[in-house]
Amino acid sequence: ELFDCGHRACGGCGAALAARLVLKGAGTNTIVVSATGCMEVFSTPYPETAWKVPWIHSLFENASAVASGVVASLQKQGRTEKVIVMGGDGATFDIGMLCISGAFERGHDLTYICYDNEAYMNTGIQRSGATPYDASTTTSPAGSCSFGNKRPKKDMPQILAAHGAP
């Protein structure tokens, strides 16, 4: 296993399963860049790590920029490692959109995986750009004065396709 047991994810966590399966498919010749978020918190409690491949922790907003730098460095060295970015919906749909846009617009050879749980779950279930219309969160509560989130979920596949993403 390239994403090992012993991490501190909640039982049945989709992000932990996604990391495990992604790395099974990607193999050992892989470098992972992970945005701040649940996955970083549960997979790397100091001094431990669940990652058995090179792994880089970045800020919420710059995982794609860090990955772009890794891709450029690998290309300069003539190396062929796969570069995978993993981020939650907050780091993907909202906070990190600028850097994702830049990486895709420049055509960097990386794979971006968003584990979308439709809200900022790690910090109290606040609304994000991935929160569906009508959903109730702590910052868009449903009740007598509101029906919940008043905005539609961002269409990230269309946004990335507009950048010429494969």
* CATH number, domain containing residue 70: 3.40.50.970
Whether residue 101 contacts residue 34, with contact meaning beta carbons closer than 8 Å, is answered with no
Residue 141 lies in a domain: yes
Residue 5 lies in a domain: no
- What tokens does 128 get? 């994000």
* Entry pTM: 0.93
| pLDDT value of position 86 | 97
Residue 6 lies in a domain: no
139-163 per-position pLDDT tens digit: 999 999 899 999 999 999 999 999 8
> How far is 117 from 115, CA to CA, in rounded Å?
6
> How far is 141 from 149, CA to CA, in rounded Å?
7
| pLDDT value of position 24 | 98
On the question of pLDDT at 136 being above 80, the answer is yes
Residue 98 lies in a domain: yes
Residue 151 lies in a domain: yes
| pLDDT value of position 34 | 97
Average pLDDT over every residue of 122-150: 94
| pLDDT value of position 114 | 96
The residue length of the chain stands at: 166
pLDDT band at 164 (very low <50, low <70, confident <90, very high): confident
On the question of pLDDT at 166 being above 80, the answer is no
pLDDT band at 123 (very low <50, low <70, confident <90, very high): confident
Residue 120 lies in a domain: yes
Residue 34 carries which side chain, given as an amino acid letter? S
* Full residue range of the structural domain in which residue 53 is found: 14-161
Number of domains in the chain: 1
Residue 51 lies in a domain: yes
Q: What distance lies between CA 142 and its chain's CA centroid?
A: 27
Whether residue 63 contacts residue 32, with contact meaning beta carbons closer than 8 Å, is answered with no
41-92 per-position pLDDT tens digit: 999 999 999 999 999 999 999 999 999 999 999 999 999 999 999 999 999 9
| pLDDT value of position 126 | 95
> How far is 113 from 98, CA to CA, in rounded Å?
16
Residue 7 lies in a domain: no
Residue in this structure with the two tokens 């409690």, named with its chain if needed:
45
